[in-house]
A and B are shown apart, each in its own frame.
Chain A
Amino acid sequence: MSTSSDPRPPASHVLVQFCHADRQYEPLDALTVRYEVQGLAGEELLAVEHSVLWYTEGKGEEDLGVHFFERIVDQQQLPSANAPGGFATDLPSSPLSYEGVIVKIRWCVRVRLFFVGGRDFVSEYVFTMGQLPPARMPMATQS
């Protein structure tokens, strides 16, 4: 999934490759990500942020937990059309990906590009940690 804070359709996009092709991981697994920025069209990058995080979806307000974060501002290390980027981390033991009824937990990798003009562009790729079956037995009470 890719989103941008610019109303114009983003020209650039990020192609991410996981070390597990099925994007299925177990807790404490090593996660290695390679990515390629395409369609920069001459736009100059100011910084790139790599993050591995979980977020909640569902009825409640969204919560976010960042497991891995790095911000690259060194022009030598910034990815370009000729030099793909990458990062690696060991996943934590929790929380596991969870498909609940009103609470869902998703893990994802985000690559956020900051351009010199002030525009930023984020690319998000969801992966699964653990192998929990979805919860399905709604019996609601509201307080």
Chain B
Amino acid sequence: MRLPRFFGKKRGHRRTGSQAWASLGDAAFHAALLVAGLSFGGLLVSGVAVPEWRINHDFLPTTCEVLGKGLMRRAVTGPGGGSSSTWQPCLRVRYAAGGTIVESWSGAARSTITADRDEAVRRLSAWNIGGSVPGWYDPSDSGSVVLERGYNWPMWLLALVLPGALIVLGGSGLVRTLRRWGRSEERCAARSGLSGILDPLAAATRHAHGHPAVPSCDDFVNSPGTFLRFRLPIESPESWSLIGFGLFAVLWNSVLAVLAVGAGLDLLGGRIDWFLIALLVPFAVVGVAGIVVFARGLLLATAVGTTQVEIAAQPLLPGGTYDVLVAQGGSGGIERLDLDLELEELATFRQGTDTRTERLTVWRQRVRSWRDLTLAPGTRFEGRATVTVPETAMHSFTSEHNAVGWRLVVRGAPVRWPPFMRAFPLVVVPATAEERRVGDRRPSQVAP
């Protein structure tokens, strides 16, 4: 028997790896997830779900006489070695089970469980010695009695969600791997009905009708412009960075607040935890720095007014000429405002455990520049331009890890603020044979 090779063929400057070993590893990983899900689910079902279901369906009702009271202590040891306890009131009860009289201890309702022993003792006073309480006993083991029925829904949810997620992830991954096992990459890549279900991320990209691998421009034509036909959506990676900084600042400072409250309560109680205080100082520095970075980013993003770009048509064709409107809001002076047409390549690749995306502008053409603009609050600058897509332009292209995209880029240099750059994606579709034939007779989208 021959084992599969670790390394496969070499393409370009990369080795593509062994498909067989990759499939084996993938199958083992998903099988492990599936087994973990089934095991965990089995434990939860047998340990929680089945006993609870039996209590609600099989146990028989009876009347219990309270003979004694006590507290049941459950000690839990934490990961740091410390332990905590919970207290549950318990009753010694006597009841009739199938013609015999049985005595047994049973815990009171779950809602009576508390971490405070004094509170548990107080709750015990709700029952009187010699009083009667309803109970349910196990017909197959009359010594087993409960004083409360019902379902612990959070536990059921846990029993369903956690193992369920593991089973779905592991099962779908295993099915996907097994479907690919021994098949050529072309056969796997050929469309099939199950592919979208088993690999939803890969099937997420929408393509233009009749143009495979060209992104759909549905999202670019749903916003009408004020002067031209469409207002282009803004592509703003800076906004995502800003949201990231904001989330970081909120989360970090929330943790900091919790620690600070703990330290403050200690101080009020006359205790000083020097270790906690020493820990708080660098935490506070990072927290303040996070807020400053977020506030600065927010200020820069909002200080310069909004930029809007409208265009006469979407999608664009190679060789086509289109009217464009650039509108810049805000107040103050702008030394320079440039409008560029760019072609950008995007490649996503794995580097170790990181997934990185490299962007490269491979073609750029200045469409128009405006100088020394003065913006007044409540009004906006509006400039017209004409964009021509090169006759031999590559069309927009998108696949799972690679893309080629056209965009209009507005670069501004405000007098009092740092320069800014805002990009507005376009979709260029390949020209049909008919469109290529008509060439210069192609109708342009330029106002007379």
Using a CB–CB distance below 8 Å, which chain A residues touch chain B?
Answer: 3, 5, 7, 26-28, 49, 51, 53-54, 56-67, 69, 71, 92-96, 98, 100-103, 105, 110, 112, 120, 122, 130-133, 135-143
Contacts and interface: CB of A to CB of B under 8 A. Distances in A.
Contact of B345 (A49, A93, A96, A100): A100
B189 interface: yes
A135 B345 contact: yes
A61 B360 CA distance: 16
A60 to B, nearest CB: 3
A96 B401 CA distance: 17
Contact of B190 (A5, A27, A69, A133): A69
Nearest to A29: B433
Contacts of B363: 135, 137
Contacts of B213: 54, 65, 94-95
B400 to A, nearest CB: 5
Q: Which 9 A-B pairs have the closest CB atoms?
A: A60-B347, A63-B399, A69-B190, A61-B401, A51-B186, A59-B347, A135-B362, A95-B213, A60-B401
Given A56-B402, A66-B190, A94-B214, A143 B359 contact: yes
A88 B310 CA distance: 44
Given A60-B402, A138-B362, A66 B184 contact: no
6 contacts: A5-B5, A66-B189, A93-B212, A100-B404, A102-B358, A105-B397
A26 B208 CA distance: 19
B210 interface: yes
A28 B360 CA distance: 30
A95 to B, nearest CB: 4
Contacts of B402: 56, 58, 60-61, 63, 103
A103 B186 contact: no
Contacts of A3: 9
Contacts of A62: 11, 16, 401
Interface of B: 4-5, 8-9, 11-12, 16, 184-187, 189-191, 210-214, 237, 343, 345-350, 356-364, 392-395, 397, 399-404, 429-430, 432-433
Contacts of B356: 142-143
B189 A95 contact: no
A95 B186 contact: no
Contacts of A101: 345, 360, 362
A138 B362 CA distance: 5
B187 A71 contact: yes
A8 to B, nearest CB: 10
Nearest to A138: B360
A65 B189 contact: yes
Contacts of B343: 135
A95 B400 contact: no
